[in-house]
Structure 1
C-alpha cells in the first residue's frame, strides 16, 4: 500500500535493534507501584496498551537506580526484592509481544527526590542529594554527593541496566534532562563543584559519561543506549542551546540515540510538557539544531500529535524519531492509524493536563478523552453483545457521542438525537479559541466515528417522553448536558452581553474593552484569548481566587498566562448590574464600583438540565444519566460515564 506518512511509518535501526516505525511512546510513570516499588499489573497493562496501538518503542518510567540516595516511591529493580525482576520481565514481554520494543528509563531525581509522592510531607524524611550543597527553593537542605556515593550511583546504573536486559528490555534510556540528577551535574546552576565534576563543561559532563560507560559495560556492544537530555534549560543561569549542542557532542560516542527534550522541573514545566498556550512542536528546534552537529540518530518530543507535522519533521531531517506521551494516552492507536492512513480517526490530546494532575492528586492515571487509561485491566476491547437492543441517546455532546459509538460497536441499534443543528454540545463553543481548538475537534472526530459505526444521527430533534415512547427503545442514555447559569442580574440580558458558550457565534460583536464576568476556568480561558487578540480585558470574580475549578497542573500555567497577558483581575467582587459602560460590582463591604467595558462576557458557570432528565427518567427499561445533566462537571466525566453506560446495556 502507499502510505500517507511514509517517513513516520519507516522502520529504523538503532544499535542492533530494528524498530517498526519512528513513533515512540515516551516515558510515563506507572500508577500501581507496589509497596516494594515493583511494577503492578495495572501498570503493565498501561504500557501494553501503547504497544498494541503500534508504537515503535514503549518506555517504562522511572526506574530509580539508587534508592539509598533517592528514596522516592518509583520503580526499583534488584534481585533482593521478591517480584522485582519478574514484574519487569512480564512488562517487557507484554510490550514485545505486540511488536514494540520495550525500553526502560533509568533515573535518579537527585535533589528533587520525592517529587511524585502524593503525601508531599514525606519529602521531609528523604535525603536530598545533589552535585552541590545548598537549599532547595522550598527550604529543604541538599547534601553534596561524595566521591564514594557518586561511584555507587554510577555502578547502580550499570547494575539496573544489566537486570533490565535480563528481563527482556531491548533498549535503555538514561534520563539526563528535566532537572534530575544527571542534568543537575550538567547544569551550571546546580553544579557548583570545584573537583573533577564541576567548573568546565568537560567536567560537568563527566558524571553523565561515567553513567553511560557503566551502562555500556553492563549491556554490551550493539545494545541501544538512549540519552535523554534537555536541549536547553530555558532559565537564567542554566545552560542554553549552544551549550546543549556541546553536551551532545561530548556524549554522542557513548550513545545510539540522543533524545532531545527541554526545560527543567523547577523552572519550565509548561515548556517540558507544552501547554495549550504553547505551539505544537515548540521544542523541535532544539533537536534540529543538535542533529546538525552529531552523527547518531536524534529524537524530538513536546506536544506533538499531528501526523502531518511529525511527517515533515522526519522528512526534512529535523529529527529521526518522534516521541509522544500525552498524545498516546489520548489515542494509543495513533501510530497504527498513521500506518494505515486513518489519521482522520485520531483522537487528539487536549493538553488539559488531566493525566498529570490525577497522578499528582490521586496517584492514578486518567485521560479526558480516553476512558481506558488507568483502567486497562478492566478490559480494553468493546465486546459485541449476544442480545442487541434498540438504544436511544439523548444529547450529542462528548458523553452522548461516546455512549453512542460504544453501544454501536457492541452491535446495538443506536439512535442519537440532538436538539440543535450540530453535534458536539459544549465543545462547539471552543472552535473560536485557537488554543482550545482541539476540544472542538474532539466533537468533530467523535461525530465521524459515530457515523462510521452506523449510529442513526438525528439533528434538530428534541427528545421528549412521547418521542422515546414512540421509538419503543430498550435503553435510553440521557446526555442532555448543562446550560449557562444566568443569575437575575439586571442588564445581563442586554445587547452588550455575550454568554461565553455563544462567543463563537457572536464574536464579531465583541468590542475592544471587555469585561469577563466570572473567573472560573471558562472565564479565565476566555479572558486570555481576548487579551491575546489585543483587547483590554477586565476579569471579575466573586471569590478571592481564580480558576479554582482548574486542575492542579493546568491552573498555575493558566494564572501565569493571565499575568503575562496583563489582564486586569478583580477578585472579591460581586456583579450587581450591567450597564452600557460596564458592570457595577460590590466588594465584601457592599461598597460599589464600576468595572469599565463595553462588552460583557458572561461566564458564571453551568447548571445541569435536571428538568429534562426528570421528564425522561421512566421512559425505557434501562435508563442511564451521564455527564453534565447529572452535575455540571468535565469532559472527562462525560466521556467516562458515556462509555460505561453503553457497556452496561
Structure 2
C-alpha cells in the first residue's frame, strides 16, 4: 500500500468518498435484457470489479429517451421509473464491497442506427456521426427542450436507484457532442455557431440535472478533449468550451476521440500507458476540479505517478478491469506479477459489441461474469493431463487443469513459452501482447502440480510415461506457403531477402537500416499489415500487395482504423486485386487484371496467413482412442483464429474433465 500511497488514497467529492483513485469508466456490454433492463449476469459482471477493490464504478451509458436516444441493441435504459428497482439491486450489490457507483446517462443522437430504432436518428444538424453513417434529422427547438427534461428526469432516477453520482456523456459522437463539435453542428440558431451557442444544450442539461438531484449529489461530465479529426475540437477548443460548462460540474472525465477517430477513444495497442493524461492535466490546471484520465493504463507505477504528479485525480481503467477485475486487490497486496493486463487488442470488447452487436467478451479473460468460480471445483480422482504446446491456448488449458487438482505436464518443443503471441510481441508496436504469455507463465510457475518441459518433443513413448487421462494438442500454426513458383526455394533462406513472418521475427534485430529501402509485403491481412507498420514507420518505402479488394478484413475495427491511418500517413503504396505469381531472390512477379509486373525489393515478405500445425494429431488420436484416453485439439492447431478462441478452448478443459467423470 505504501508503494502506491497516492493511488490508494481516498477522495471526497460532495458527499461521495472514494476509497481509492481507481475507476472503472463506462463501457457498453450488451448484457442488458431486450427491454433495456438490468440482468443478473450484468450485475455479477460489475460485482466482480467491485469485489476486486475498484473505488468507483461508472456503469455504462443508459438511454434517457427510448427508442430515439438508444443505440438500438441491448443498451440499458433509465427513461422510465420501471428501471429503478433493477438499478437499485445493482447499487446495493456493489456497495457491499465498498465501491462507489455512478451511472452515465446519454442520448445517442446521430449515433443511433435508423434500422435498429425504427425511425430516422436525430442530431444538431443533418451530419452523420461517422463516415458512411445514416443522415440524421436536425432537432427542432421544442424537441431540444424536451430532451433537456429527459436528462433531468433520468438523473433523478439515478439518485433514487442508490447511485453515488451521475455522469453526463458529452463526448464520443453522441448527441451532446454533436452540439459541441463543429464537425456535426451546422445550426444557425442559438444552438449553433459560436462556442457559447454550441454549449447551450449541454449547459441546459447540466442545470436541469442539478435542479433534479440537488446541491450535494456529484455530477460528472465526460468530454472528448481532442477529437483528433480535422475540423473538430482541439484541446484548446475544449478548454474554451468548458468555460461555459464548468459551473455545477464536480468531476471532469477527460476522454478523447469521436467515431471517425475511434482508435483514440478506444485506444489502439501501441499508445503508451496514460498517453492522454496531458489533456486531463490541462482541464485540472484550468478549472481546479478533480479530473479522470484514461488511456491504456495497465502499469500501477504509471497510475501512481499520474496521481502523484497531479496529472489527474482519478485513474480510469476500462478494458483493464474487463481483463483483470482484481487489479486493485492484486496491486494493493503486492501481487503485481499476477496481473492479467489487458493487451488492448479490442476484439472481444469493442469488436464484439460495436461491430457484431454481441455481448462483450475478452481475449485474455475467458469468463467475465463468474471470474474464478471454477476454482471451487476439484477433481474427484487422480487425473493426469498432458498438454502439447506452450502457446496461450496450451498454457490456459494446463493452468486451468492444474488449478482444479489435475497432475499436468506441458511439453513445448521450443526453448521458450508463449507461442505465436510471444513471437508477435517482439514487434515494437505489438509489445503489449507479450503481457499475456508473461501472466500465463507466472501463473503456471506457481502451480506445484504443473510441470513444464521446454525443448522436448512429445512423442507417444514420452507421453505414455505420464499415463495421461487427457491429451491436449495445442501445437499452434505455421505460415501458409502455397506452391507459388520460387517461393519455397527462396523464403527464409540464410542471408536471403524473402521472408515469412516467422523468418522476419527471427531476424528482427538484423533490420537496422531503413532509409531508402524498398519493402514489398504480399498479404493485406493482420500479419502483413504488422510488417508494413514496422517498416513504414521507420522510413522504408513500402508496397503492400493484396489479392482481395480491401485490406485488413480480418482485423478488429480499432486496429483497422489505425492501420488505414498509418498507410495514409506513411504513404504506403497499396496494390489491391493483385496476385503473387512468382518469387525471385530480390523480386516478386505479380498480376493485376492479367497484366504481370515485376516488383524489385531489398526485402520481400510473404504473409498469406497461417495454417494449423498438427503433425502428430492423427497418430495421437488413433493410438489413444484404444487406450480410453481423451484427446482434444485446441487453439490454432484446431483452426487459425484469434487468441480469444484458443484461450476459451483452453478453459474448456473443464468440460473435458466433466466428460471423463473427473469433475
Question: Does TM-score exceed 0.5, indicating one fold?
Answer: yes
Counterpart in 2 of 1:622? Answer: 630
Report the more deviating stretch, 441-450 or 270-279.
270-279
Q: 2:412 aligns with which of 411, 414, 418?
A: 418
Q: How much does 1:182 deviate?
A: 1.5
Q: How much does 1:441 deviate?
A: 2.8
Q: State yes or no: 1:523 paired with 2:517.
A: no
Alignment deviations for residues 301-336 of structure 1 (CA, whole Å, 9 cap, x no partner)? 122222222211111001000112111122222222
* Shift in alpha-carbon separation, 1:188–1:633, aligned structure 2, 3 A: closer
Contact 2:164-2:218 at 8 Å conserved across structures? yes
CA distance in 2: counterparts of 1:410 and 1:109, whole angstroms? 45
Q: How much does 1:133 deviate?
A: 5.1
CA distance in 1: counterparts of 2:254 and 2:168, whole angstroms? 12
Q: State yes or no: 1:428 paired with 2:422.
A: yes
Q: 1:278 aligns with which of 258, 261, 271?
A: 271
What's the secondary structure of 1:574's corresponding residue?
Answer: strand
CA distance in 1: counterparts of 2:214 and 2:483, whole angstroms? 73
Counterpart in 1 of 2:451? Answer: 456
Contact 1:389-1:474 at 8 Å conserved across structures? yes
Contact 2:548-2:578 at 8 Å conserved across structures? yes
- TM-score (norm. length: structure 2): 0.91
Contact 1:9-1:338 at 8 Å conserved across structures? no
Q: State yes or no: 1:507 paired with 2:501.
A: no
Q: State yes or no: 1:269 paired with 2:262.
A: yes
What's the secondary structure of 1:312's corresponding residue?
Answer: helix
* Shift in alpha-carbon separation, 1:317–1:524, aligned structure 2, 3 A: same
CA distance in 1: counterparts of 2:58 and 2:612, whole angstroms? 41
Counterpart in 2 of 1:117? Answer: none
Q: 1:482 aligns with which of 477, 491, 495?
A: 477
CA distance in 2: counterparts of 1:252 and 1:584, whole angstroms? 62
Q: State yes or no: 1:131 paired with 2:124.
A: yes
Counterpart in 1 of 2:375? Answer: 382
Alignment deviations for residues 227-285 of structure 1 (CA, whole Å, 9 cap, x no partner)? 111212233333222231233333333022111111222x3211112212433333211
Alignment deviations for residues 500-526 of structure 1 (CA, whole Å, 9 cap, x no partner)? 123232124447332223222111111
CA distance in 2: counterparts of 1:208 and 1:228, whole angstroms? 11
Contact 2:66-2:79 at 8 Å conserved across structures? no
Q: How much does 1:342 deviate?
A: 2.0
* Shift in alpha-carbon separation, 1:603–1:195, aligned structure 2, 3 A: closer
Counterpart in 2 of 1:99? Answer: 98
Q: How much does 1:160 deviate?
A: 1.3
Q: How much does 1:588 deviate?
A: 4.4
What's the secondary structure of 1:641's corresponding residue?
Answer: helix
Contact 2:266-2:558 at 8 Å conserved across structures? no
What's the secondary structure of 1:348's corresponding residue?
Answer: coil
Contact 2:69-2:106 at 8 Å conserved across structures? no
CA distance in 1: counterparts of 2:48 and 2:605, whole angstroms? 42
Q: State yes or no: 1:396 paired with 2:386.
A: no
Q: How much does 1:299 deviate?
A: 0.8
Q: How much does 1:383 deviate?
A: 2.2
What's the secondary structure of 2:375's corresponding residue?
Answer: coil
Q: 1:549 aligns with which of 533, 550, 554?
A: 554
Q: How much does 1:157 deviate?
A: 1.4
CA distance in 1: counterparts of 2:336 and 2:174, whole angstroms? 36
Report the more deviating stretch, 622-631 or 183-192.
183-192
Counterpart in 1 of 2:661? Answer: none
Alignment deviations for residues 40-87 of structure 1 (CA, whole Å, 9 cap, x no partner)? 333222222222222111122111112264253322225464xx2222
CA distance in 2: counterparts of 1:8 and 1:139, whole angstroms? 41
* Shift in alpha-carbon separation, 1:594–1:449, aligned structure 2, 3 A: same
Contact 2:263-2:558 at 8 Å conserved across structures? no
1:2-401 matches, cutoff 5 A: 2-67=1-66, 69-73=68-72, 74-79=75-80, 81=82, 84-114=83-113, 121-122=115-116, 125-132=118-125, 138=132, 140-265=134-259, 267-354=260-347, 355-359=349-353, 360-373=355-368, 376=369, 380-387=373-380, 388-401=382-395
What's the secondary structure of 2:177's corresponding residue?
Answer: helix
Q: State yes or no: 1:408 paired with 2:412.
A: no
Alignment deviations for residues 161-210 of structure 1 (CA, whole Å, 9 cap, x no partner)? 12122222111111011121222222234334444433332333232222
Contact 2:343-2:435 at 8 Å conserved across structures? no
* Shift in alpha-carbon separation, 1:492–1:646, aligned structure 2, 3 A: farther
Contact 2:498-2:585 at 8 Å conserved across structures? no
Report the more deviating stretch, 487-496 or 150-159.
487-496
Contact 2:235-2:279 at 8 Å conserved across structures? yes
Counterpart in 2 of 1:612? Answer: 616
CA distance in 1: counterparts of 2:453 and 2:500, whole angstroms? 26
Q: How much does 1:295 deviate?
A: 2.1
Contact 2:70-2:107 at 8 Å conserved across structures? no
CA distance in 1: counterparts of 2:385 and 2:17, whole angstroms? 47
Contact 1:404-1:646 at 8 Å conserved across structures? no
Report the more deviating stretch, 231-240 or 513-522.
231-240
CA distance in 2: counterparts of 1:543 and 1:235, whole angstroms? 29
* Shift in alpha-carbon separation, 1:502–1:307, aligned structure 2, 3 A: farther
Q: How much does 1:111 deviate?
A: 2.3
RMSD: 2.3
Q: How much does 1:361 deviate?
A: 0.7
* Shift in alpha-carbon separation, 1:112–1:519, aligned structure 2, 3 A: closer
Contact 1:431-1:437 at 8 Å conserved across structures? yes
Contact 1:580-1:598 at 8 Å conserved across structures? no
Report the more deviating stretch, 624-633 or 273-282.
273-282
Between Structure 1 and Structure 2, how many residues are aligned?
636
Q: State yes or no: 1:565 paired with 2:570.
A: yes
CA distance in 2: counterparts of 1:66 and 1:462, whole angstroms? 61
Counterpart in 1 of 2:597? Answer: 593
Alignment deviations for residues 386-427 of structure 1 (CA, whole Å, 9 cap, x no partner)? 425222111100001111111121122221111110001112
- TM-score (norm. length: structure 1): 0.92
Alignment deviations for residues 564-601 of structure 1 (CA, whole Å, 9 cap, x no partner)? 22222223333333223211223442x43211112222
CA distance in 1: counterparts of 2:440 and 2:463, whole angstroms? 24
Contact 2:127-2:184 at 8 Å conserved across structures? no
Q: How much does 1:214 deviate?
A: 1.8
CA distance in 2: counterparts of 1:438 and 1:237, whole angstroms? 32
What's the secondary structure of 1:172's corresponding residue?
Answer: strand
Contact 1:426-1:501 at 8 Å conserved across structures? no
Structure 2 stretches lacking a partner, 5+ long: 658-663
Contact 1:30-1:46 at 8 Å conserved across structures? no
Q: State yes or no: 1:640 paired with 2:648.
A: yes
CA distance in 2: counterparts of 1:363 and 1:356, whole angstroms? 10
